[in-house]
Each structure stands twice: as C-alpha cells, then as structure tokens.
Amino acid sequence: MSAFRSGFACFVGRPNAGKSTLTNALVGEKVAITSSRPQTTRHAVRGIVHREDAQLVLVDTPGLHKPRTLLGERLNAVVMTTLGEVDVVGFCLPADERIGQGDTWIAGELAKVRRTPKVAIVTKTDKVPRERVAEQLLAVMRLGEATGIEWADVVPVSAVADEQVGLLTDLLTRLLPEGPAYYPEGELTDEPEMVMVAELVREAALEGVRDELPHSIAVVVEEMAYREDRPEDRPLIDIAATLFVERPSQKAIVIGTKGARLRDVGTRARQQIEALFGAPVYLDLRVKVAKDWQRDPRQLARLGF
Ligand SMILES: Nc1nc2c(ncn2[C@@H]2O[C@H](COP(=O)(O)OP(=O)(O)OP(=O)(O)O)[C@@H](O)[C@H]2O)c(=O)[nH]1
C-alpha cells in the first residue's frame, strides 16, 4: 500500500477562469463558510478532498491581479507567499478564451515561485470542440516555455460536464508530500456551528479596534459541548475558544486594562452565541500569541482558515 499523502493546493487564474466551479467539483459539495468573507481571512479553506489515500486541502487567495495600486501590490505579496507555501498550484485557463495578457502576467508571477509544482488546467472543455481544446493545450505548453515554467502536468477538464475531474484529483494528490490528514473527515463541512462561533468571537474581539488589529486575529474553538448532568429543559453549552494574535502588543489590546476589554468581548460574543443556539452559554476565552501564523498554511489550517 502506498503512503498517505496530504497537503495544500490553490487555484489561480484570471477572473471567470472557472476556479470556484472546479473547486466545488473536486470537493463534491460546497464549502462556503469562510469563502464568503474574503476580508476576514487570507487563506480561506475552500474545500477538502477526502480520499482513502490522500487529503487535499484547497485554499483560496485574495486573487492574483495585475498590481495597480499599493493595495494590489500588497495583496499580490500575500498571494505570492501563499503560492510559495502550498504544495501545488493549479493554473486555470479557460478553453473558450484565447490566452491573453492577463494569463501571461500570471504565468510570469508563477514562474518566480520556483519550488511549488504547477499544473496547468484547461477548464470548460465542454464549451468548445475537441480541436480547440488541443490548440489550447499547445498554447499552454508554449506559454510555459515562454515564461520558463515547467508544468508538472497539463490537463483539460470540464467541471460542469464532470470530465477529467477525477484525473485532476489524482494528479494533484500525487504531487503532495507524504503526511497525515490535517482534518478529520467531515470537519468544516459538518461543523458550521463551530465556524460561526469562531466568527462571532472574532467579530466581538475586533469591534472598536479594527484599525489596530487588521487581519491579525484568528479564533479557534477548542471545545464545544452540552454540559452533562443538566436537566433537559435547562441546557448549558460550554465553549472554550482561543484568540490568536500575532504580537504581544496585540494581545494587550485584546485583553485591555486588567482584562476589562476581554471580559466585554466575552460578554458580547456570548450574547450572540446564545442567540444563535437559543441556550445559555459558558464561554471560556483565552488569548495567545501565534507568531507569523499568517505565513504558515499548516498553522492556518489548524486554526480553521
Ligand atoms: N460550460 C462550463 N462553464 C463553466 C465551467 N466552469 C466554470 N464555468 C462557468 O464559468 C463562469 C466562471 O466560473 P467561476 O468558477 O465562477 O470562475 P472563477 O475563476 O472562480 O471566477 P472569479 O471568482 O471571478 O475569479 C461561471 O459562469 C461558471 O458557470 C465548465 O467546466 N463548463
């Protein structure tokens, strides 16, 4: 039996290239918990492919754009970091559109990320005749040569017609390192409540200090359970959550003078969570400094991003 493989992949490509549709086709069901909030997460987990022999975690990036503004450049720096951290990048190029400047620019950026294997994916093959797919595959090979990218694979797929999606999954998982699954099966998809609780805590923690803590806070719900030995008509939910910040100075902001702010955060979050579940909640909040967590996709994954 071959070893279990696990790791992270991300799809890039210009707008409309078919990245989301392909992600959903690979995962087999929608995971839209964090993806609808790109402003709060940098590397949102878009979906997880669970297999007997592998686990592939598809992460999202804010989008690879041609930088026009400083913000654009910053975003691109984040994207470039992500691309260097994932185990494989899939570059989506739609079969029904000629390769253009935008694609060439992205290819140029991808070429700079030397170590990460790159798979070229010609998407939406159901929209065009076979000859056109063949032409596009050749054009993609030429694009690789022109930009100095050695494609680990070049694959035509149709997410809509479900053609070659399984093959693509095989190719991507084969490029992952050996390692254990990062998520138990069903996590994220089966536990939206935990994600919602984390989000409520996060919102409460950011309230009023958004400028001081942009993007630098993550919440992990460590435990969530109905307390035992309670009468059925008087349930109580115990929740333990940890707030991760990047720096000690941010920890001080979250906690406040003599813990006053953290108590407020706890109260606000608890009220929201109680409203969500319709039951009283005992909320235990901790704050920890997790240095550079934003740069490490494995750490991020553990934090539920
Ligand atoms: N016929 C066909 N249409 C597809 C396929 N994949 C995606 N599309 C369509 O192409 C459009 C764009 O697809 P998305 O998956 O949203 O593209 P995206 O790359 O995620 O787009 P952005 O979020 O703008 O970056 C949608 O209207 C999809 O329905 C495919 O395999 N076949």
Q: What CA–CA distance (Å, rounded) separates 4 from 176?
A: 9
Mean pLDDT score, 131-145:
97
Mean pLDDT score, 239-252:
89
Q: Mark the binding-site residues for GTP, compressed into ranges.
A: 13-20, 60-64, 123-126
Residue 64: per-residue pLDDT: 56
Is the same domain home to 106 and 30? yes
Q: What CA–CA distance (Å, rounded) separates 95 from 133?
A: 6
Atom of ligand 1 nearest to the CA of 21: 15
In a domain, 183, yes or no: no
Name the residue at shortest CA distance from atom 9 of ligand 1. Answer: 18
Share of the chain above pLDDT 70, in %: 78
Q: What CA–CA distance (Å, rounded) separates 112 from 210?
A: 34
Domain stop point among 131, 146, 174 = 174
Residue 177: per-residue pLDDT: 92
Is the same domain home to 19 and 150? yes
Q: Is the CB of 17 under 6 A from ligand 1?
A: yes
Using the mean position of ligand 1's atoms as its centre, give its distance from the Cα of residue 18 in Å.
3
Is the pLDDT assigned to residue 139 strictly greater than 80? Answer: yes
pLDDT tens digits for 181-214? 776 654 433 356 777 788 889 889 988 887 777 6
Is the same domain home to 105 and 240? no
pLDDT tens digits for 98-137? 999 989 988 998 999 888 999 999 999 999 999 999 999 9
- Measured at the CA of 45, the angle between CA 269 and CA 66, to 5 degrees, comes to 110
Name the residue at shortest CA distance from atom 2 of ligand 1. Answer: 124
Q: Mark the binding-site residues, compressed into ranges.
A: 13-20, 60-64, 123-126
Q: Is the CB of 21 under 6 A from ligand 1?
A: yes
Is the same domain home to 62 and 147? yes
For the domain that residue 225 is a member of, what is the CATH number? 3.30.300.20
Domain range enclosing 262:
192-302
Q: Is the CB of 124 under 6 A from ligand 1?
A: yes
